């Protein structure tokens, strides 16, 4: 059985599995980004107390142990502050394939941290763990994430209408994009 490592390092970032010691930092990140998170990351946006954040980290650790979801906090090496989160979820181990979900703190956006985080995860999944397919689901209003996925070589698979209920209770369409191992290799060859 293959597991993802607890720590992944990129040039400027450290992606690390959450521990209970991260609860205060997670809560601070949520408080600074709650308006941004409600629509797409309702569970995270709902965190209001350190106790709730501790429960969140415990849940993510259980999902990790069960090999269902691998949730990483993203920290900058220089700034030592949590700057986001990235998850490998909805894993089909028999393929293997998975979905990525990620967000970056609003004060850290437009610095390439999302690209660097996603590339680090893709390198691990495709090169080390021999995944065959990674997909993302993106709200049509999230043009930044859509552009990032296209830049990284993800191919559009279609628009799923009324497929996601956001934290406000509204139904939204979702763009599905995927990257196969062959797409990844072609992208790396450029």
Going by pLDDT thresholds of 50, 70 and 90, the confidence category of residue 1 is low
| 1 occurs within a structural domain | no
- The domain total for the chain is 1
| 122 occurs within a structural domain | yes
pLDDT value of residue 40: 86
Domain containing 149 equals 7-189
Average pLDDT over residues 30-49: 87
Reply yes or no on whether the pLDDT at 184 is more than 70.
Answer: yes
pLDDT value of residue 165: 87
| 115 occurs within a structural domain | yes
Contact of 36 with 103, CB cutoff 8 Å: yes
Average pLDDT over residues 61-83: 91
Claim: this prediction has a pTM higher than 0.95: no
| 136 occurs within a structural domain | yes
| 54 occurs within a structural domain | yes
**What element of type H or E holds 188?**
helix 181-189
Tokens of 183: 């797409």
| 72 occurs within a structural domain | yes
pLDDT value of residue 110: 86
Contact of 153 with 181, CB cutoff 8 Å: no
| 2 occurs within a structural domain | no
Strand ranges (E), 18-154: 70-76, 82-92, 97-104, 133-138
Looking up residue 33, the CATH number of its domain turns out to be: 3.40.630.30
Contact of 44 with 120, CB cutoff 8 Å: no
């Amino acid at each position: 059985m293959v597991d993802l490592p607890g720590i992944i390092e990129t040039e400027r970032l450290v992606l690390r599995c959450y521990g209970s010691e991260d609860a205060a930092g997670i809560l601070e990140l949520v408080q600074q980004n709650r308006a941004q998170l409600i629509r797409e990351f309702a569970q995270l946006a709902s965190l209001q107390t350190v106790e709730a954040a501790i429960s969140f980290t415990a849940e993510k650790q259980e999902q990790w142990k069960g090999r269902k979801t691998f949730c990483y906090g993203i920290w900058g090496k220089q700034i030592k502050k949590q700057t986001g989160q990235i998850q490998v979820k909805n894993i089909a181990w028999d393929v293997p394939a998975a979905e990525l979900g990620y967000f970056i703190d609003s004060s850290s956006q437009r610095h390439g941290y999302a690209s660097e985080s996603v590339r680090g995860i893709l390198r691990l999944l495709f090169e080390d763990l021999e995944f065959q397919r990674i997909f993302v689901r993106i709200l049509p209003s999230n043009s930044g994430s859509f552009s990032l996925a296209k830049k990284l070589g993800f191919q559009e698979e279609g628009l799923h209408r009324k497929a996601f209920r956001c934290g406000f209770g509204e139904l939204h369409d979702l763009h599905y994009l995927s990257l196969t191992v062959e797409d990844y290799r072609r992208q790396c060859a450029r």
